[in-house]
């Protein structure tokens, strides 16, 4: 029987690795709570001014002198934003005019009550299992490059320099953000190239494993690979000859928590958004094609997303003659599909509105006709249990004329 992997260093030494990230994440929380920044209309992320101001307060700050850059330029801010949203510590709330901002969930208070090691495990667990790797990195080549770097760290030695290899070359240039993420989590140190410019120019000279990184990377690859949030990662890795081990039915929290000594990691938090919502209610949706063309539809929690689809088709005078889907977040390729009219997509047919886990202020995308691509923005205006439940979906307000579904055919 193999001996469980444990970190040999003291808790004080481990805390030195993880404290900068935890301090920055709590700074991020405080900034959002105090400044209440609105999100950029097009990208749905922090704007240039907020990114610049927040950057100046961080340990992992970028050396910039003016607010000239978008959020994704600040790798640590972009990572923290993703972790906050994917963990549902923060929710993206949209008002009726489509203005978006971040709202603290009850999970944030629970997070702040954890000890530092528990906070770290929660963030690492969120990163490994929920971070949108498919959107950030090339799916086909990225999975092999990311795996290769994790393997090099897992098999490396403390303070041993890992130089650029053919298989990992983009992790020193265009996909260097992954290497920086591992650095933020204390899994490695980075030897940077001064003056590097441009996406395709080397910015990292060497990746240097830490003792913490060696143990955690071994755990992730040997016991937690099935939790890695990359579509078809197991199939792609096995296709290339990399054998993926089973996780023996352990949950990801237990796998990572077991690394730390003295049973210091005992607590975590669960998604605390859903218990706040009374599902047996009336849902009001604002369905928009543009700023001046929209409809408000009121529905029962017992209605399905197919009912919502049919209601939209009726109020916009469409013919209901094509496939469609509803999804939340990201692009259509990487988003969470909550219902699809395609019978071959494997999404459950009877998805009830009240069981979908949606919340007031959430934005949902509705795509109809994958050829002509009619794209509707849906905002959950209210979830109200104190009004009569309608027998069927009803339109309560509208603005603008419905467009012709096939204008070029007229």
The predicted-structure confidence for 12-52, as pLDDT tens digits, reads as follows 888 889 999 999 999 999 999 999 999 988 788 999 999 99
* Pair 363, 338 in one domain: yes
* Pair 165, 47 in one domain: yes
Contact of 279 with 355, CB cutoff 8 Å: yes
Residue of 103 and 136 predicted with greater confidence: 103
Beta strand 324-328 pairing with 282-290: unpaired
175, exposed or middle or buried, with CB in 10 Å at 0-12, 13-18, 19+?
A: buried
Kindly report the CA angle at 23 between 99 and 83, in degrees rounded to 5? 45
Among the candidates 263, 287, 320, a domain finishes at 263
Contact of 190 with 204, CB cutoff 8 Å: yes
* Pair 152, 230 in one domain: yes
Within-domain flag for 229: yes
**4: Cβ contacts below 8 Å, ≥ 6 apart:** 258
* Pair 99, 233 in one domain: yes
* Pair 298, 358 in one domain: yes
* Pair 181, 230 in one domain: yes
* Pair 225, 289 in one domain: no
Contact of 179 with 205, CB cutoff 8 Å: no
pLDDT for 275 equals 40
pLDDT for 96 equals 85
Within-domain flag for 1: no
Within-domain flag for 145: yes
* Pair 255, 293 in one domain: no
* Pair 240, 315 in one domain: no
* Pair 231, 380 in one domain: no
Kindly report the CA angle at 363 between 346 and 108, in degrees rounded to 5? 100
The predicted-structure confidence for 262-278, as pLDDT tens digits, reads as follows 899 999 997 654 444 45
* Pair 134, 179 in one domain: yes
pLDDT for 276 equals 47
Distance CA 261, CA 270 (A): 23
This prediction has a pTM of 0.84
Within-domain flag for 2: no
DSSP per-residue letters across 28-46: HHHHHHHH-PBBPTTT-SB
Domains: count for the chain: 2
Contact of 60 with 76, CB cutoff 8 Å: yes
Sign of CA dihedral 51, 52, 58, 63: positive
pLDDT for 174 equals 56
Among the candidates 201, 233, 263, a domain finishes at 263
Provide the token pair at 14.
């481990």
The predicted-structure confidence for 137-191, as pLDDT tens digits, reads as follows 766 566 777 888 899 999 998 888 988 765 556 666 656 888 899 999 999 999 9
The values of phi and psi at residue 138, to 5°, are -60, 125
* Pair 209, 148 in one domain: yes
The predicted-structure confidence for 191-249, as pLDDT tens digits, reads as follows 988 766 655 566 888 899 999 999 999 999 989 988 988 876 667 676 666 666 666 66
Query: Which domain, by its residues, includes 287?
Result: 277-409
Distance CA 361, CA 217 (A): 38
Distance CA 138, CA 154 (A): 23
């Amino acid at each position: 029987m193999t001996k469980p992997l444990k970190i040999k260093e003291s808790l004080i030494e481990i805390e030195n690795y993880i404290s900068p990230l935890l301090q920055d994440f709590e700074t991020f929380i405080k900034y959002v709570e105090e400044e209440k920044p609105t999100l950029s209309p097009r990208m749905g992320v922090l704007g240039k001014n907020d990114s610049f101001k927040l950057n100046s307060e961080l340990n992992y700050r970028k050396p910039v002198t003016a607010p000239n850059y978008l959020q994704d330029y600040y790798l640590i801010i972009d990572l923290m934003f993703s972790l906050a949203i994917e963990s549902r510590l923060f929710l993206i709330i949209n008002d009726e005019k489509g203005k978006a901002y971040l709202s603290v969930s009850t999970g944030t208070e629970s997070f702040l009550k954890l000890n530092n090691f528990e906070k770290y495990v929660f963030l690492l667990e969120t990163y490994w299992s929920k971070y949108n790797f498919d959107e950030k990195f090339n799916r086909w080549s990225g999975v092999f490059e990311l795996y290769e770097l994790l393997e090099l760290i897992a098999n490396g030695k403390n303070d041993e320099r890992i130089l650029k290899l053919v298989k990992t070359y983009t992790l020193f240039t265009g996909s260097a953000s992954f290497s920086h993420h591992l650095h933020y989590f204390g899994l490695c140190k980075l030897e940077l190239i001064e003056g590097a410019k441009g996406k395709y120019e080397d910015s990292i000279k060497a990746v240097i494993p830490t003792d913490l990184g060696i143990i955690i990377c071994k755990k992730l690859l040997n016991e937690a690979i099935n939790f890695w949030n990359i579509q078809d990662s197991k199939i792609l890795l096995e296709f290339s000859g990399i054998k993926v081990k089973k996780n023996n039915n352990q949950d990801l929290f237990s796998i990572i928590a077991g690394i730390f000594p003295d049973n210091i990691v005992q607590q975590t938090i669960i998604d605390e958004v859903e218990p706040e919502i009374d599902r047996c209610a009336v849902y009001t949706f604002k369905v928009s094609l543009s700023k001046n063309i929209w409809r408000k539809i009121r529905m029962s929690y017992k209605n399905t997303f197919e009912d919502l689809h049919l209601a939209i088709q009726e109020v916009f005078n469409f013919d209901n003659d094509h496939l469609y889907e509803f999804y939340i977040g990201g692009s259509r390729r990487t988003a969470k599909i909550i219902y699809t009219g395609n019978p071959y997509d494997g999404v459950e047919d009877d998805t009830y509105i009240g069981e979908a886990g949606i919340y007031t202020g959430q934005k949902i995308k509705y795509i109809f006709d994958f050829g002509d691509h009619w794209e509707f923005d849906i905002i959950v205006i209210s979830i109200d249990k104190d009004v009569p439940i309608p027998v069927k979906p009803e339109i309560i307000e509208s603005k603008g004329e419905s467009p012709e579904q096939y204008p070029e055919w007229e």
